[in-house]
Amino acid sequence: MVTLAASEELPGCGTQINFKMKKIGILTSGGDCGGLNAAVRSIFFRAKNTYGMEVLGIQDGTVGLMQRPVAFLPLDYQTFSGSLLRQGGTFLGTTNKGNPFKFPMPDGSYKDRTQDIIDGYHELGLEGLIVIGGDGSMSILTEIAKRGNLNIVAIPKTIDNDVGATESSIGFNTAVSVATQALDNLQSTAASHNRTMILEVMGRDAGHIAINAGIAGGADVILIPEINYSINGIVNKLTEMKNRGIVHSLMVVAEAVKTENGKTYEIEFADGQKRLGGIGTYLSEEIMKKTDVECRVTSLGHVQRGAPPTPRDRILASAFGVYAVDLLANNKFDRMVAWKDRKVVDVAISEGISTYKVVDRTDPLIETALALGVYVGDID
């Protein structure tokens, strides 16, 4: 075990380290993404090698803490001896269904399960818990921590990159990479058949994946929820390209883009849940009504979540994991790690989730797209 003097400062935190904490837990919550396993691996190595902590991996997010016995995996060096670093998803499991404050029960009723989570934390003898999740997960766990006197630190992960306090979240770069690769693949088939290929990507109400992948993949039209567009505007762009002798094109549209009359497209599943999706088909139909352009639609869906993490996401996750353990070891709780100005910092979780980060009209990437001749909406 690496030992440090009691007066030695925590890198990046500027406060003193103590070695009282002996057992911590990790859970992944919300939708999966590339880089989660890298974060768990980093947490284990930092906690074990530097502080001699015992590390438990909670299975299936907060659901694991609700179960009796609590569902967890004791983590050791053998756990990470294989290819976990390179795998997408989370080997611990996760959940994005069921609010613990109103959790669906088998008999159809709803129950507040927060005390079960609190009891699970204490039954395991945890002295700290690192939560890897998005804004929703962090909000829920922060409230539970207050009720049950839990020591938590949060790591932001979301392919949407919409957590305002960090420039980048785990999973975003991988999602952009997958979408860019899809555009690269669609380019050749678009050219072969003189078609317009429409790629629908995730992102919820933020257009970060669409604008980044669209520029990287050479899209001619990029539509995001933050900027209004018109079908005529799209048609004018395609007509302009045709007049230049270019009869194939690429479009990227974020899943939360609305129709011209403000309708949000959603797909309803058998369990009654609704998911964003379908705007690509709408655009295809409207374009073909007004032109002789042949369109095809590809919706990437969960391919963006399950892909092997990019090197950038592995590095970011590793840096976040190290810093998160240092925060716990230093008794700095209710903090979220963040990436700012090429370094890891920490902010209060409440601050971290208070701002929903969208693509602003003045974003440099919007200006870049416009300079490249991309139609990004009806901008004056």
**pLDDT tens per residue across span 198-247:** 999 998 889 999 999 999 999 999 999 999 999 999 999 999 999 999 99
3-class SS letters over 271-330: CCCEEECCHHHHHHHHHHHHCCCCEEEEECCCHHHHCCCCHHHHHHHHHHHHHHHHHHHC
Percentage of residues in the chain with pLDDT exceeding 70? Answer: 94
The span from the CA of 71 to the CA of 124, in Å, is 10
- Reading the block at residue 300, the tokens are 């990437």
Q: Is 42 left (phi over 0), alpha (psi -120 to 50) or beta?
A: alpha
What is the pLDDT, as a whole number, of residue 98? 74
Of 2 and 198, more confident? 198
Domains located in the chain, CATH noted: 23-170+309-340 (3.40.50.450), 173-305+360-371 (3.40.50.460)
pLDDT at 14: 42
89-99 per-position pLDDT tens digit:
999 999 887 78
Its pTM stands at 0.90
How many other CB atoms are found less than 10 A from the CB of residue 226? 22
Convert the pLDDT of each residue in 16-33 to its tens digit: 455 578 999 999 998 899
- Nearest-angstrom CA–CA distance, 227 and 223: 7
79-116 CB burial, b ≥16 within 10 A, e <16: bbeeeebebbbbbbbbbeebebeebeeeeeeeeebbeb
| Cα distance between residue 20 and residue 127, in whole Å | 9
> Would you place residue 2 in the very low, low, confident or very high pLDDT band (cuts 50, 70, 90)?
very low
Bridge partners (DSSP) of residue 339 are 344
Residue 301 pLDDT greater than 90, yes or no: no
Burial 287-304 (b: 16+ CB within 10 A, else e): beeebebbbebbbbeebb
Assess contact for 251 and 294: CB atoms under 8 A: no
pLDDT of amino acid 295: 95
CA-based max dimension of the chain: 73
Instruction: For residue range 234-283, list pLDDT tens digits in order.
Output: 999 999 999 999 999 999 999 999 998 888 887 777 766 777 878 999 99
CA distance 160 to 170: 10
- Across the beta sheet with 54-58, the strand order is 72-74, 54-58, 23-28, 128-133, 152-156, 335-340, 343-348
Count CB-CB contacts under 10 A for residue 218.
14
Q: Rounded to whole angstroms, how far apart are CA atoms 379 and 88?
A: 38
Output the CA torsion 125→130→133→138 (10° steps).
80
For 312-345, write each residue's pLDDT tens digit: 999 999 999 999 999 999 999 999 999 999 999 9
Q: What is the pLDDT of residue 263?
A: 86
Which pLDDT does position 127 carry in this prediction? 97
**What is the CB neighbour count within 10 angstroms for residue 325?**
28
Is 4 a residue whose pLDDT tops 50?
no
- 334 Cβ contact partners less than 8 Å away, ≥ 6 residues apart: 142, 145, 152, 153, 348, 349, 350
Give per-residue pLDDT as tens, 114-171: 999 999 999 999 999 999 999 889 999 999 999 999 999 999 999 999 998 999 999 9
Beta bridge partners of 129: 25, 152
Mean of pLDDT values over 171-175: 96
Mean confidence (pLDDT) of the chain: 91
Q: In the numeric block, which tokens belong to residue 302?
A: 């969960």
Residue-level pLDDT at 9: 45
Q: How far apart are CA 74 and CA 288, in angstroms?
A: 56
| Residues annotated as catalytic (active site), given as ranges | 160
CA nearest to 184, candidates 209, 219, 144, 158 = 219
As given in the structure block, the two tokens for residue 73 are 């995996």
The count of residues in the chain is 380
Q: What percent of the chain has pLDDT over 90?
A: 78
